[in-house]
Structure 1
Amino acid sequence: MEKILVTGSNGQLGSELRILSEKYPQFEWIFADRTQLSLDNLSILEDQLDADSPDIIVNCAAYTAVDKAESEEELADTINHLAVGILADWSSKNNSKLIHVSTDYVFDGTSSTALTENAPTNPINVYGATKLAGEQLCLQKNPEAIILRTSWVYSGFGNNFVKTMSRLMIERDTLSVVNDQIGSPTYAADLAQAIITIITHSNWTGGIYNFSNEGEISWYEFALAIKEIGGYTCEVSGIPSSSYPTPAKRPAYSLLDKSKIKKEFQVAVPNYKESLKVMMSL
């Protein structure tokens, strides 16, 4: 029986994988949170991997506080870059498969067409820079690893845009949301299913793949969809990013092209609104 180790098991994606894992009893699942597998403590990471000895590693752990990363660069780099190198190196030496989750923030947002896996990277914040460094080190140490770039992740777990908007739309009469950042949301349950589709597929082809839900929208349009599905009466208006300054810059355009993952692994990619309805009905 193959053993699958899921890091960052209490996050949005790890939590969704835990739910889905019950449908796949042919695997032995190990769900490790930050106390059981510490990506910020590199000196013991290899020993912890030796102890679990997984056949497949799904790395959902990351430093994801995008604005905080601007002032905590060293910690973000340890978790998003250096620790990933250790996971990749260990998986390569132990003939273990590795799926590592990355981000659309490796791009600078200047494109106007959906970004393929080969599009030039040029991160504009610390978080994106540490995630890109992690990708590069991952493939350097283990060219057979699979990297999944995703964007705008939300779920019923943890803190995310959908839960924040739903709460604010109940609490407030009016709300302003940026309307000049374009991309597509990702329901973590869909990404979790994509990961299991890859694991159970007959082929394993290493490299970078994109996954987000279908649709090209702004955060403002995403908020409108949340309002519509939730039946909220709050008035939502669109504003430019310049009216809502944050410590870390965001890419203005980060829509991901999903052709490669569909072709290689026959992964289903639901429309963002259908998935939003599913999550909001739970």
Structure 2
Amino acid sequence: MNILVTGGNGQLGSSIRERIVSYPDWRFSFYDLPELDITSEEQVEDAVRRTECSAIINCAAYTAVDRAETDHDPAYRVNRDGPAVLARCAKSYGALLLHVSTDYVFNGRSCRPYTESDLPDPLGVYGRSKLEGEQLIEEIAPSYLIIRTSWLYSLHGQNFLNTMLRLGAERERLDVVFDQVGTPTRASDLAGAIFSILSAIQPDTRYAGLYHYSNEGVCSWYDFAVAIMRLKNFSCRVRPIESSGYPTPVPRPAYSVLNKGAIKTDWGLDIPHWYDALADQLITHQANQPSS
């Protein structure tokens, strides 16, 4: 299997790259800016043709939630138009398109985990642009899988975990919101799920699937921060605050827990609990620290 990965230097792309050693019979081609702009039909078609890929994993996204409110055009180009370009090229060359989306397609007003059949209602430009990207893939691509995820983190790039590791080592106290509830997702676990799915797909079979994936369990951002401090033995005290005490240009979903029943049933996945995944991630972080 030849696999083209866009957004190859991001959190998920880097996590996929770390796992390819376990799949020596597959050929991976990782692309990111500036060598590949997914909004360029010419560049994408050239990459798909040269790699002769049978699957495209789209990890590329515009993820600056607040900046998207004033930076509309780049957000829509990357999150809506880019997936449409990938879908057209996948259609032309008979490739499966596996696209990663977000819990931000929902408004966060639910009181039960969101299923794939729940009506999307994004609160801002980021969520709307991602939703429109999903819709165009469903319209264009003859074979696709869309995976919505939430609260993604890894040791790569900017994310909540890395921010807490930095601030927890520097400060005596942090204020973190307790009234936004969801589930952290370790990028490495999502990468593993993607590999499991690709291993199970049947040649010459068309797919049309929308799935939810995160780690198991539920927590608030406050709970997540407390767990990080405890697991790292930081003395930094985390204080719970309401979202009104940390205003943002775009309101965050108050509840973004995803129901993962469909992806577990259809693909036989065993998903780790968020705390166990975090503990394992921090063991990796500790192992990567220089010895004194």
Q: TM-score, normalised by structure 2?
A: 0.93
Q: What's the Cα RMSD here?
A: 1.3
| Counterpart secondary structure, 1:115 | coil
| Counterpart secondary structure, 1:146 | strand
Alignment of 1:85-164 (within 5 A): 85-164=84-163
Name the aligned partner's letter for residue 258 of structure 2: L
Match of 1:259 in 2: 261
Matched, 1:5 2:4: yes
* Structure 2: runs of 5+ lacking an equivalent: 285-292
Match of 1:65 in 2: 64
Match of 1:269 in 2: 271
| Counterpart secondary structure, 2:101 | strand
Name the aligned partner's letter for residue 221 of structure 1: D
**Count of aligned pairs:** 281
Aligned counterpart for 1:279 among listed residues 261, 278, 281: 281
The runs of at least 4 consecutive aligned structure 1 residues that moved more than 6 Å come to none
Name the aligned partner's letter for residue 210 of structure 2: I
Residue 215 (structure 1) shift: 0.9
Name the aligned partner's letter for residue 128 of structure 1: G
Match of 2:79 in 1: 80
Match of 1:240 in 2: 242
Residue 120 (structure 1) shift: 0.8
**Aligned partners of 2:259, 2:145: CA distance in 1, in Å?**
16
Residue 221 (structure 1) shift: 0.5
**Aligned partners of 1:69, 1:49: CA distance in 2, in Å?**
29
| Counterpart secondary structure, 2:12 | helix
> What is the CA deviation profile of residues 99-122 of structure 1, one whole-angstrom value per residue up to 9, with x for unaligned ones?
000000000001010000111100
Name the aligned partner's letter for residue 50 of structure 2: A
Q: Is contact 2:2-2:27 (8 Å) kept?
A: yes
**Aligned partners of 1:235, 1:59: CA distance in 2, in Å?**
38
The sequence identity of aligned pairs, in percent, is: 44
**Aligned partners of 2:260, 2:148: CA distance in 1, in Å?**
10
Name the aligned partner's letter for residue 266 of structure 1: G
Match of 1:27 in 2: 26
**Aligned partners of 1:122, 1:130: CA distance in 2, in Å?**
12
Q: Is contact 1:57-1:98 (8 Å) kept?
A: yes
Residue 51 (structure 1) shift: 3.0
Aligned counterpart for 1:226 among listed residues 214, 225, 228: 228
Name the aligned partner's letter for residue 269 of structure 1: I
> What is the CA deviation profile of residues 133-180 of structure 1, one whole-angstrom value per residue up to 9, with x for unaligned ones?
000001100152000000000001111101111111111111000111
Match of 1:171 in 2: 170
| Counterpart secondary structure, 1:200 | helix
| Counterpart secondary structure, 1:19 | helix
* Structure 1: runs of 5+ lacking an equivalent: none
Q: Which moved more, 1:260-269 or 1:32-41?
A: 32-41
Q: Is contact 2:44-2:89 (8 Å) kept?
A: no
